[in-house]
Structure formats: structure tokens, C-alpha cells
Amino acid sequence: MAYTITPYERKGSGNITGSGTTVTAANAAAFRNVAVGATFKSGGNTRTVVSKTSETVLVVNSSLSVTGKPWTYQNPALTLSGIYYLKHTKTDKPKLTPIALKDADSAWAGASSGVYREIQISGWIANATLADREKNITILEGLLDGTQTRHGTCVFAEESPARSLYVYIGSATWQIQRDKPKWLDVMINMTECKNRGSLS
């Protein structure tokens, strides 16, 4: 099974200072949605996030020297290990005008306000370690951070039929089952849309 959601590049909150491989954020909880493995950019430098000490301190893969600089990041793709179900709902509801004292077949049907597709995916992510679980929770939560269509648009790739869709993530829930503490059960609701571009 191959079902993935690829995040877009986002602007970080506030400015950062980098000394060696340690990056410190000026704003509290600035790195909350930055996952291990994310591509991190600042001052013309590109690094990979190796670990998170806290929500204001990151460790990157090579030395970085910046002071009071803006930054951007792009999390790795979220890949589901398997699905319980995938539901597509494509809607083109007409504007209806019923006629008094007539049956339903007498209603006037007019052009709709437009066609849209809603996608609901329920599945699981089988994590090898607790660190992997935390990484995937961060990616999942980072999909909804208030920047959609302003900073970019996520891409959902499904296996059957094999295709990729630009999507707006409407909601995401996750839970940890008692018998599989490293696994995540996830439910994600999306709406297909046009790509609104990205920061690059």
C-alpha cells in the first residue's frame, strides 16, 4: 500500500540563531510542527533536522551560523502503512426549486454552485520506535497550522487509482491503541483543490 501526504514549504515563526549544529528560535514553541527529517532553510543555507531538544531548540546535520534570521521548513512526507478505508465523495448538487403541490419530479433543477471532491482516509502508521511515532505525530499535526493556501498546498498520492491530488486538509485525528503503543491510527479529511503555489 502506498498512500502519502506531502507537506509544502512553510515560513517559520519569528527569527532563529544558529551556532554550530544547534538552532535556537526566538519565539516560544516555534519548532512545534517541525519534524525530525525536515528540510530547514535560513540565510541561504539548507540543513536537515536531526533531532529536537525542545520546541525552541533544534539540532541540524551540519554547522550553521546565522543570527536573527527568518527561516522556512518542509516536513517529510507522511506515509501510511495501511488503510482501513479510503472514501471519495464527488458532489455536484443542483440548485433546486420545488413546486408547491407537485411531486419531486416537478422540481426545477438549475446549475450547481460547482463540483468538489471530499476525501476521507482511515488508516494506520506502524512505527518501529517511539521516536518514529513522535516524528509522525509532528508531521500530522503540522499539516494543519493555519498556512494552507497561503504558503502552499499539500499533495495526496493514492495507490489505486494511481494519482496525485492537491488537497486542503480539513481535519486530522490520531490515536494510540493500547496493544500497539508504537502504532498510530489516523483519520484525515481532505478536499481536492488547485495548487496555490509555495514559497519557492
Q: Is the pLDDT of residue 116 over 70?
A: yes
Q: Given this model, what pLDDT does residue 1 score?
A: 52
The CA distance from 10 to 144, in Å, is 12
Q: What is the pLDDT confidence band of residue 2, given thresholds at 50, 70 and 90?
A: confident
Beta bridge partners of 188: 121, 172
Q: What percentage of the chain exceeds 70 in pLDDT?
A: 99
The CA distance from 136 to 78, in Å, is 7
Closest listed residue to residue 198, CA positions, set 149, 156, 155: 149
* Predicted TM-score (pTM) of this structure: 0.90
Is the CB of residue 102 less than 8 Å from the CB of residue 75? no
pLDDT digits (tens, 9 = 90+) for 5-53: 999 999 999 999 999 999 999 999 999 999 999 999 999 999 999 999 9
Q: Given this model, what pLDDT does residue 200 score?
A: 56
Strand, helix or coil for residue 48: strand
pLDDT digits (tens, 9 = 90+) for 62-104: 999 999 999 999 999 999 999 999 999 999 999 999 999 999 9
CA distances in angstroms from 96 to 16, 101, 106, 124, listed in the order given: 55, 15, 10, 41
State the pairing for strand pair 180-192/82-91. unpaired
Is the CB of residue 87 less than 8 Å from the CB of residue 119? yes
Over its C-alpha atoms, the chain yields an Rg (Å, rounded) of 21
- Residue by residue, DSSP assigns 59-77 as EESS---EEEE--EEEPPP
When pLDDT is averaged across residues 177-187 and rounded to a whole number, the result is 93
